[in-house]
Amino acid sequence: MNIQHYTYRVTWSPEDEEHVGLCSEFASLSWLAKTPDAALKGIQKIVGEVVADMQANGEPIPSALAEKNYSGEFRVRIPPLVHRNLALLAAEQGVSLNRLASAKLAA
């Protein structure tokens, strides 16, 4: 498992007045630091330690989001009235409901 393939993000935390490093595959982990670079290095270090511990204990290790295959399909449940209103809007625009929903999600 290459921990460099995980999805990392660094953002500013107004509450902590520091940069926070995050990893999407390990949502419960974070690392606070004075600089963005230190926050990124910190979260990568802790993820590496957690992955090593999981490997040592025979636990399943999360796959990197970047390495997963996506079908382009997912199911969303909405209230019937919302479904009706979207279908009407799609008809008025001369597009399929799927095309309308895809455009709205991408916006």
Region 16-29: what's the mean pLDDT?
97
Range of the domain at 80: 70-106
* Domain identity same for 52 and 92: no
Verify that 58 and 19 share a domain, yes or no: yes
Q: Give 1's pLDDT tier (boundaries 50, 70, 90).
A: confident
Taking only Cα atoms into account, the Rg of the chain, rounded to an integer number of angstroms, comes to: 20
H helices of the chain, where? 36-56, 80-93, 97-106
Contact 20, 30 (CB under 8 A): yes
pLDDT for 101: 94
57 plus 19 within the same structural domain:
yes
Judgement on whether residues 74 and 61 belong to the same structural domain of the protein: no
- Which tens digits make up the pLDDT trace of 32-82? 999 999 999 999 999 999 999 999 999 999 999 999 999 999 999 999 999
Q: Report the alpha-carbon distance of residue 80 to residue 43 in Å, rounded.
A: 43
Number of folded domains in the chain? 2
Across the range 76-103, mean pLDDT stands at: 95
Q: Are residues 47 and 19 in the same domain?
A: yes
Q: Are residues 21 and 52 in the same domain?
A: yes
In whole angstroms, give the CA distance from residue 100 to residue 86.
Answer: 8
Are 43 and 85 contained in the same domain?
no
